[in-house]
Structure 1
Amino acid sequence: MNNSGLQGMLKDGYKHLSGLEEAVIKNIEACKALSQLTRTSLGPHGMNKMVINHLERLFVTSDAATILNELEVQHPAAKLVALAAKSQQEELGDGTNLVVSLAGELMSHADELIREGLHPSEIIEGYAKASEKVLQLLPTLVLPGSEKIDVKNETEVAAALKASVAAKQYGYEDLLAPLVAKACIEVCPPNPNNFNVDNVRVCKVTGGGIHQSAVVNGLVIKRDTEGTVKSATDAKVAVYADAVDTLSTETKGTVLIENAEQLETYSKSEEDKMEAYIKGIADAGAKVVVSGGSFGEMALHFIERYGLLAVKIVSKFELRRFCRATGAVGLVKAEPPSADELGYIKDIRVEEYGDTLVTVIRQDEKVSKIATLLLRASTDNMLDNIERALDDGVNSYKILTRDPRRLPAGGATELELARLLSEFGKKETGLDQYAVKKFATALEIVPRILCENAGMNPEQILPQLYTAHASGSATIGVDIEENGVKDLTPDGYSDLYDVKYWAIKLCVDAVVTVLRVDQIIMAKQAGGPKTANKPAMDED
């Protein structure tokens, strides 16, 4: 006999959660747990997380985007917040932690309102109204004159990128921000709106100190050349997408050798063809040969004979960048290149950093289309963290080329928004006014976390901030160095307008989507029962 209702409609083994306690509150708790995980990593004094992913790779980082990506969040509600953070990372490259932390705080306040008797729809309406008001207020907080930045001026750009780099590598921002600015400006096209973040590369070399990091106009390939020729200047370059080697036939064949003369001449024709191939490359004017595959022994023999420099680039993406940097055309046919298929390198040589040999390709500053940040540090983990900080800096430069407006840093923007929104909430009359006021309180999370992560007491600092902002000083933020409050703008710290705008927008969208869910229906998982992981066998 068939069961009626939902039980009769779905397959056996489904799960159905509904109502406030089972669906809404559990979703809120999952989002709060995700927020608690990343919020301690916010700001210059953010703590690191040690994450071991499914491939047993270790990550020690305070970068929220990396943490969320490697955690593989499974809960459907928490996944929505993680996806909002991912959208922020892909679109702007910074501000992911703000999305998750603010979402968790909004969820926490929604939990309180629900337990006090408000319906989720009233909370959603209040949050939507508050979000709209916040996005209207945000342009009024823009720092005067920040929209007039010259994106080709290294000093101005370095100052604008300082806060973004300091959030990941506090203490090194004065060293790293100018490096990022220099690299970005060198590859910035005449129309800055066409700036491509992929044109700024990073090469990490273990050993030495962070102060030995430098910018190279061109590419750095982390491997030695293939032959004995280690340098070339003002060289034309031929690029082959496939291996530079003798071609093997698709069908198998048998060769019958009847005498000593045939044995001697067996491979002669093959050698002659290979020599003609390499000689053709040299005659075309090329001094450098680049291969996307391997170099055969016979090919290397003739490359040495004709004094060519051979470079192997395994990654097809790196090969594409090499072609972009040199103006070469990647050839798929095993024949000498024509004049218009050759690229140009001003200087290529093998250099040693620590015990690592790297091939450095330098181009003229005026024609360089790719710049490489050569990073030095003592450990791989530190190199990875510096790379993430520089990645944020490069993305921030891209934002500057589109919208250079900046906001006060150190939690000053969020606190001023909280103060103005709180005043707006007092004028509201409906039940959604409680949600508006809670939204204002939630915005305090940024200065609060900055205080907590720096070992300061937020209960002492927040009243000082409110007093300063109420007296008209809207740029006063948390000063983590002096354990107090001050305007960080003269020190060169400011936040990007676009990052804040989209972080608030994406965060509220995710929160509202989660709060709209009142039922969760999960179908039975496909496949058999999930077996427990087998214990690792003892090694002999």
Structure 2
Amino acid sequence: MGFNLQPYGIQSMLKEGHRHLSGLDEAVLKNVDACKELSDITRTSLGPNGRNKLVINHLDKQFVTSDAGTIVNELEVQHPAAKLLVLASKAQQEEIGDGANLTISFAGELLRGAEELIRMGLHPSEIIIGYTKAIKKVVEILEELVEEGSEKMDVRNMDEVISRMKAAVASKQFGQEDTLCKLIADACIQVCPKNPVNFNVDNVRVAKILGGGLHNSSVVRGMVLKNDAVGSIKRVEKAKVAVFAQGVDTSATETKGTVLIHSAQQLENYSKTEEARVEELIKAVADSGAKVIVSGGAVGDMALHFCERYKLMVLKISSKFELRRFCRTTGAVAILKLSQPNPDDLGYVDSIAVQEIGGTTVTVVRNEESGNSVTTVLLRGSTDSILDDLERAVDDGVNTYKAMCRDSRIVPGAAAAEIELARRLKEFSFKETGLDQYAIAKFAESFEMVPRTLAENAGLDAMQIISSLYSEHSSGNTKVGIDLEEGACTDVSALSIWDLYVTKFFALKYAADAACTVLRVDQIIMAKPAGGPRRDMAAAAGAGMDED
């Protein structure tokens, strides 16, 4: 603007400092590029041999994981189009809890195909029409690939659960899936309610304890609290429990007041009455039959002294959510202030014991007889990042269990389903007449990303694997996938590698939706960012500030 010209066109409408990108080259292809970058990151982590990423987030916390959900959450993606993919993967995480990687990688692959078509001269709207037809067809074909008889399933049968969970867990912890699946399946089956559809993921907890290895891990019916008991009583069997939400302390008087004390005598009496008051409260709890007091806040010294005298075990749970879970496990009702509890408000535990596991003091609350509603998987590992990754694998397993409680249909895993979808969709594209047939063919080709990635991550020759998969499938063996350990194509039903139908269904659907949404964008208009100087300058100036 060197000549003092009046701004014209879109510039006259928007504030200074805006950015405006339009047209195929600037907007659409730039968007596709950003999405491809993102999907390249997640794609190398796909499958059992997927590589880990070391992500350091803005709080300097390290993540070493191949779990795409975690990776994209911590990356803080800035680009608006790539954010659409992140949102799709988040939707997948919310809905199923597994398959976020497939969602992003597949959407990226679809966009890569779209880019080639655009360069050939197709209009984005034709591509969208083609992709929409394709995803409809994919859903039909997926239905046909479902293993017969898999819709009826006993969710309490260990073997059936493990066979469906194995693929999801193996993709996070390859080589340890057998040990892990047993633990996860055991924990899930124990808390599975009468009607499995109501299975709550929150009821399977994970306690991570450093030291030992995965083979030391176990499942506890009940809860594991990562702290010591307050006081000297460390073990109680078959006891009633009183839970106080506020804390067990003397200053539980309702009002604040000033007391004028004239003589030493009065001072003594004053503290005596306080003592008597506390003793009275604690005695009331002990008389109600409770042997354990659980406090949600501080435990005062004087109160603790009387708890010891009346042989009460004292636990402190500072997190509100943990306290709520504790109440769920024991069937207790949290009482607001320190007073004599009603018999109905007391919970029951089989045993509470303080144990030392690998140098960490933990309190194990077991509750086996009365309907136990929480189980804990005790994970052991040598470093924090290994434990975190194991926890993610458990998370995926539990989410898969929840999904199979709702819909237990399965499709062949290890890229068998994808190759079959690719083959059938290719055939379908030949029947179409419009320009969208190219888009459908590209959609079909995109499925090859899965076997290609699985093969590449395992160090196999991708082209050879894909062509032999195609030839097997076209001769009618629709369950042939990649056996990664052998490095060959085999029937996956023999290896019992199955993927849940719902995981695939939602992942492909969300991916296609996200890809179409990105393609629908033809202009990017960014207003001038609000606020002062740029972030990195501010960061240099006020290094102590947090990002809010």
Per the TM superposition, whether the score is higher than 0.5 is yes
Q: Which is further off, 428-437 or 2-11?
A: 2-11
Identity rate of aligned residues, in percent?
A: 59
Q: Would you say 1:519 and 2:523 are equivalent positions?
A: yes
Q: Would you say 1:207 and 2:211 are equivalent positions?
A: yes
**1:170: which partner in 2?**
174
Q: Would you say 1:135 and 2:130 are equivalent positions?
A: no
**2:375: which partner in 1?**
371
User: Do 2:350 and 2:369's aligned partners in 1 also have CA atoms closer than 8 Å?
Assistant: no
CA drift of 1:257 comes to 3.5
Letter in 2 for 1:398: K
Q: Which is further off, 254-263 or 134-143?
A: 254-263
Q: Name the CA distance, whole Å, in 2 between partners of 1:387 and 1:207.
A: 15
Letter in 1 for 2:207: C
Shift of the 438–165 alpha-carbon distance from structure 1 to 2, 3 Å rule, reads same
TM alignment of 1:362-401, pairs within 5 A = 362-365=366-369, 367-401=371-405
**1:402: which partner in 2?**
406
Q: Name the CA distance, whole Å, in 1 between partners of 2:436 and 2:77.
A: 32
Q: Deviations over 1:130-168 (max 9, x none)?
A: 111011110111112222221111122122211111110
Q: For 1:470, which of 445, 469, 474 is the aligned residue?
A: 474
Q: For 1:278, which of 282, 300, 315 is the aligned residue?
A: 282
Q: Name the CA distance, whole Å, in 2 between partners of 1:328 and 1:251.
A: 28
Q: Would you say 1:91 and 2:95 are equivalent positions?
A: yes
Q: Name the CA distance, whole Å, in 1 between partners of 2:45 and 2:127.
A: 28
TM alignment of 1:129-528, pairs within 5 A = 129-247=133-251, 254-365=258-369, 367-528=371-532
CA drift of 1:366 comes to 5.6
Shift of the 243–183 alpha-carbon distance from structure 1 to 2, 3 Å rule, reads same
Q: For 1:56, which of 51, 56, 60 is the aligned residue?
A: 60
**1:534: which partner in 2?**
540
Q: Name the CA distance, whole Å, in 2 between partners of 1:48 and 1:535.
A: 34
SS in structure 1 opposite 2:74? Answer: helix
Q: Deviations over 1:173-220 (max 9, x none)?
A: 111111111111111111111111111111111011110111111111
Q: Name the CA distance, whole Å, in 2 between partners of 1:252 and 1:291.
A: 23
Give the RMSD, CA atoms, in angstroms: 1.5
Q: Name the CA distance, whole Å, in 1 between partners of 2:388 and 2:369.
A: 27
CA drift of 1:13 comes to 1.2
SS in structure 2 opposite 1:277? Answer: helix
TM alignment of 1:8-19, pairs within 5 A = 8-19=12-23
Q: Which is further off, 366-375 or 87-96?
A: 366-375
CA drift of 1:409 comes to 0.8
Letter in 2 for 1:379: T
Shift of the 403–365 alpha-carbon distance from structure 1 to 2, 3 Å rule, reads farther
For structure 2, the 5+ residue unaligned runs are 544-548
TM alignment of 1:18-29, pairs within 5 A = 18-29=22-33
SS in structure 1 opposite 2:112? Answer: helix
User: Do 1:130 and 1:439's aligned partners in 2 also have CA atoms closer than 8 Å?
Assistant: yes
SS in structure 2 opposite 1:324? Answer: helix
Q: Name the CA distance, whole Å, in 1 between partners of 2:235 and 2:500.
A: 43
User: Do 2:245 and 2:334's aligned partners in 1 also have CA atoms closer than 8 Å?
Assistant: yes
Q: Name the CA distance, whole Å, in 2 between partners of 1:342 and 1:312.
A: 17
Shift of the 212–150 alpha-carbon distance from structure 1 to 2, 3 Å rule, reads same
SS in structure 2 opposite 1:279? Answer: helix
SS in structure 2 opposite 1:267? Answer: helix
Q: Which is further off, 250-259 or 476-485?
A: 250-259
Q: Name the CA distance, whole Å, in 2 between partners of 1:515 and 1:139.
A: 27
SS in structure 1 opposite 2:151? Answer: helix
CA drift of 1:264 comes to 2.0
Letter in 2 for 1:212: N
User: Do 1:217 and 1:365's aligned partners in 2 also have CA atoms closer than 8 Å?
Assistant: no
Q: Would you say 1:126 and 2:158 are equivalent positions?
A: no
CA drift of 1:453 comes to 0.5
User: Do 2:252 and 2:338's aligned partners in 1 also have CA atoms closer than 8 Å?
Assistant: no
CA drift of 1:492 comes to 2.2
Q: Deviations over 1:302-338 (max 9, x none)?
A: 0000000100001100100100111100111221111
CA drift of 1:243 comes to 1.4
